[in-house]
Structure 1
Amino acid sequence: MSTTIITLLILAAAILGGLAFYAGKLLLQLKVQQTEIKNKLNQRNSRLEESIRTISQAMQEEQCEVGEGALRISVLLDHVSDATQAQYPKKYPSIHALNDKIKHLAILEERKKLPKKERMRQDFERMKAEAEYKDLVLAEAKKLSNFVAPRA
């Protein structure tokens, strides 16, 4: 074999070795990134789970109104990142139904701006919906007292 061919083979082997090393380095970086993302997601879910359990407990101890708890829990469940997220409205239908009935009502500053008559009408609408769903929502809140989202 001529020295030119040997030189080209060595050069090709060096290039392939360099590319293989670079590919391995990129795969390692990807694995580290995926692990970091998974850890952050698990931390986020842990905070959401704790909030769901706290609100559920507060509802059961009557420290939080049923309507407010349903509103908050529905939003938190929507933000939990797991494979069963889409099933939460089916698993906790009363919480989601109450949320759907009262989520359009004004709150905070928006509520303060309403005329007294409209505030009273909205309060009545909210209390009526809460009374309708109270027992069912509290039963679901009891289940949520031990809520843990499935881990990835």
Structure 2
Amino acid sequence: MNPIIIATLAIIFALSVIVILSIKAFRILSQLKQQNKDTSGLKIQEKADLLMSIQDLAQNMLNNNLNITEGSIRIKVLLDHLDPQKKVRDDFLVFYELYSATEHMPRHKDRDKYTCDDLKIYDDEREKIEIKFQKRIFDACRKISDYEFNL
């Protein structure tokens, strides 16, 4: 066979492979771009859901429908998820302070391990802490409804 024909066929084959791989790469790139759009949309929706939950908890505390300690713990946890870089932590430090002041206390199922007398001691301590923090917690709850969470 003529060497020129072999070289031409090799070039045509190489160009065909390049075209096929380019098409494949373009499709993969398009899929990745779409996934990134979907993911960023999901992140925006997740943040909106977290913010809505934080606002609902704050309003329930202001309406005395939610215990201050329970609401503060929930808000603290949601703020940690909403703002992992802790950009807004200083603006809502009171939730973190109340969390720290009560984190040694038994919660939920852990309360089953204690006697009624022990629980009474913890509950009395918690109520004193709530009185101490109440004004600052309520101020922070009111602040949440108008706060610009630029995350």
Q: What is the TM-score of this pair, normalised by structure 1?
A: 0.87
* Cα deviation code 1:36-64 (max 9, x no counterpart): 22222222222211110001111112221
Stretch of structure 1 that moved more, 46-55 or 101-110: 101-110
- Report 1:52-131 matches (<5 A): 52-80=54-82, 85-131=85-131
Identity among equivalent pairs (%): 25
Query: Which residue of the partner structure matches residue 50 of structure 1?
Result: 52
Tell me, in whole angstroms, the C-alpha distance in 2 between the residues paired with 1:61 and 1:20: 61
Tell me, in whole angstroms, the C-alpha distance in 2 between the residues paired with 1:49 and 1:85: 16
Stretch of structure 1 that moved more, 67-76 or 88-97: 88-97
1:77–1:85 Cα contact (<8 Å) kept: no
Q: Which runs of 5+ in 1 are unaligned?
A: none
Tell me, in whole angstroms, the C-alpha distance in 2 between the residues paired with 1:85 and 1:61: 30
Q: What is the TM-score of this pair, normalised by structure 2?
A: 0.88
Tell me, in whole angstroms, the C-alpha distance in 2 between the residues paired with 1:85 and 1:144: 18
1:105–1:122 Cα contact (<8 Å) kept: yes
Greater radius of gyration (CA): 2
Name which structure has the greater RCO, CA cutoff 8 Å, separation 6+: 1
Tell me, in whole angstroms, the C-alpha distance in 2 between the residues paired with 1:148 and 1:10: 60
Q: CA RMSD in A?
A: 1.9
Stretch of structure 1 that moved more, 40-49 or 71-80: 40-49
Tell me, in whole angstroms, the C-alpha distance in 2 between the residues paired with 1:19 and 1:148: 47
1:56 partner amino acid: A
Following TM superposition, by how much is the alpha carbon of 1:113 offset from its aligned partner in structure 2, in angstroms? 3.7
Query: Across the two proteins, how many residue pairs are aligned to each other?
Result: 149
Stretch of structure 1 that moved more, 25-34 or 108-117: 108-117
